[in-house]
Structure 1
Amino acid sequence: MIEVYVDGAAQGNPGLSGAGVYIKAKGKQYEYSFPLGSRTSHEAEFIAVIKALDICHKEFPNEILSFRTDSQIVVDAIESGYTKNSLFQPLLTDIIEKGNQFPLYFFKWIASKQNHHADRLAKQAIYKNEKS
């Protein structure tokens, strides 16, 4: 089973944003940081999941994925397969389609202090936005 920690961050809402993905797999750790331009913090959270699914599809196909996020909105939307927010609907659809490529994927809400790796990576991505 692959442990995937995701987080999104934004300076302002919307504002410069980033996604962080921290993966623990087969005794190794992987870190990814993605500048996202101007987004809301919630958009960045959903996009972090999409980025993580893309990575896992390439690096860990056919594995069971255990996602951890400190975004209750993301967990609720994915577990129910629904969001009434029109901005998040295409992102949720993308997550479900990509997630269905794996034998099993599930999400667990964790406290922010347990998600510090992904949070740091998301904030690094904001800094990358600022420098470009």
Structure 2
Amino acid sequence: MVEGNMDSDEYINILANHFIPWVDNYLNSIFQQDGASCHTSTYTVWWMKTHNIPILDWVMQSPNLNLIENLWNHLDSQVRKRKPVPRSKQELIGIIQDEWRKITIETCQHLILSMPNWVKAVIKAKGGHTKY
């Protein structure tokens, strides 16, 4: 769990110790990240190149077709449904972790299968706002 803002060192630590070992199980994967400063810092760019991690170019102001955004929205919705409302940061963290563990493979599959509809909506809106 990241507390506060993430810097390049913390981002690379997460990549090196958690993401890369997991993604190495998948061949021909391309990494996607947005324009967050920890993603675009000189150090991060150097680290990614040094570790031969292919990165999908991210066009500024592009429509967000990142599946994780809808997963975050799902998580947020589930957390907000919880009663009573958490009274402390620790309670909130516990609820978030509990709801994260409840996310099913079916929920993730639903998001993946909805991707063609996202793309069609973005094309129809000519890159503008969509319901997604």
TM range (shorter): 0.3 to 0.5
Query: Hey, which of these two has a bigger chunk of helix by percent?
Result: 2
**Normalised TM-score (structure 1):** 0.36
Higher RCO (C-alpha 8 Å, min separation 6): 1
**Normalised TM-score (structure 2):** 0.36
